[in-house]
Structure 1
């Protein structure tokens, strides 16, 4: 069964240069890698991919997660790959972490997808559109509401 988990972000902040969604994407990618899965993080653009790449390098050295940008690294890529629409490898992956605002045709190759619903009306509508498409393709859909933190 193909599964999609949507994380509903009720508070959208920027901390250490990353949005709540970007930070969560990095953390979830690390968790999935620790479970033995290969992960693709589909970024909106190369600037976002480079920003996430840099953020993953400066994490606690004891918590290093092997990753690379699309087109870099070993033959079959690191366990976590960051791509963007103009640059994506065809290396098989177990999990897609989708940061793209619209549905991408390659998502059907995945059995496990993580997607996000930020707290913005425009982004919520785009997430609803992706949700409908996933449902039409027969994905099992789950929503996790992340509680607000801080003020």
Structure 2
């Protein structure tokens, strides 16, 4: 069985690389979009990243344009926009297919390992996956779940 750390992703600045870079850390993987009504969650995600980074916690942002074209920016424009508008410094990756026939293997794995409501498919931007230090998916959160509401789960994961 393939581990999350065997997955290859394409970052904005490091090119294509393995998630093994993050092995042993707690991850919150989020599909993002700059024009989504939930984009204000980027502020809270950044706060969590800053608060727990020294304990081995990373937020990983994967922009997606699959939901009503809510990510119209080009890959190279996204980091600057997120930084200027929301103060984002956590790692961002190139636009990613998070559902459908061209789903990225990472999101295929995440959705197979965690239950959604009604189906395992990602239904909207800002679906969040909490991944433990061993690479297992600990929890999945809906787009409506404010990042502040999952802080206790993050604390528990980083203290394991």
TM-score by length of 1: 0.35
Higher normalized contact order (CA 8 Å, seq sep 6+, divided by chain length): 1
Structure number having the greater strand percentage: 1
TM-score by length of 2: 0.34
